[in-house]
Amino acid sequence: MLVRAVLATIGLSESLSYWTFTDVFEEAGAGPAPLHGGFGLYTMQGLPKPTAHAYRMLGALGDEELVRTEFGVVTRDSQTGLVQAVLTHYPPEVTSTVPPSYEDDGAAAWQTRLVGRPATARLRIEGLEAGARFEIEVLDRDHGDLVAAWRAPGAPRQWSRELTRQLDQRARATHLSQVVADAAGVLTLERQVQPWTVLMARQLPGSSPG
């Protein structure tokens, strides 16, 4: 939802800010539990939520927009010439505002995250040098999602040091892979993704700019 909203403001706004960086802020302190539906990008222990990954991916986009569709954007860094893309699968079955996670212990928000069917993410970039390498990063329920990792053992409200360590490790573990442009300088990516997935393709430094 966040990625879709931010991309939709390209050309309409000079700047955006997110409230807040962490779940620790003056109005309500640190909250009653590590994951209580707070607005922060990070928990009070510093564990990244999916929104933190989303903003990191958006921040890695270049300053030149090449193509924009309802599914994402392809950009280029004007200084390095490297290409980046962010795609998202926002399920069309969700037609109203998603519920906030601080209500009903996040039950309604979690049920919304289960709505939708898988879709095929397709990306084709031409004009690259042969063999240009791209890193593909995927953020979904199984990779880099702190909330999904926390709900797996029953959504405990009290975290031991060991559980915190395990959740931190899973929260940072987005799925990484690499693909290479063909001999004609064309990068083609086709991948089945779950609803609410965010996918980033990032041309790696050292590979030939397009």
Q: How far apart are CA 197 and CA 191, in angstroms?
A: 11
pLDDT at 124: 94
Residue 209 resides in a domain = no
Record the pTM.
0.92
pLDDT at 104: 73
Q: Would you put residue 184 in left (φ > 0), alpha (ψ -120 to 50) or beta? A: alpha
Residue 182 resides in a domain = yes
Q: What is the pLDDT of residues 102-114, one digit of tens each?
A: 777 788 888 998 8
User: Which backbone phi and psi does 81 adopt, to 5 degrees?
Assistant: 80, 0
Q: Give the total number of structural domains in the chain.
A: 1
Residue 135 resides in a domain = yes
CA triple 120-93-86, angle to 5 deg: 40
Q: How far apart are CA 107 and CA 120, in angstroms?
A: 28
**Among the listed residues 150, 177, 180, 155, the one whose alpha carbon sits nearest the alpha carbon of residue 166:** 150
Task: Please tell me whether residue 145 adopts helix, strand or coil conformation.
Answer: coil
Other Cβ atoms within 10 Å of 24 Cβ, number: 17
Task: Supply the CATH number for residue 169's domain.
Answer: 2.60.40.1500
pLDDT at 207: 62
Residue 172 resides in a domain = yes
Residues of the chain scoring pLDDT < 70: 28, 207-210
Q: Which two tokens stand for residue 155?
A: 């959504």
Contacts of 163 (CB under 8 A, 6+ apart): 153, 156
pLDDT at 210: 53
Q: How far apart are CA 89 and CA 198, in angstroms?
A: 7
CB 9 within 8 A of CB 17: no
Mark out the alpha helices in 14-140 (DSSP H runs).
50-59, 107-113
Task: Please tell me whether residue 87 adopts helix, strand or coil conformation.
Answer: strand
Residue 86 resides in a domain = yes
pLDDT at 192: 94
Residue 210 resides in a domain = no
pLDDT at 77: 97
Range of the domain at 66: 2-203
pLDDT at 208: 56
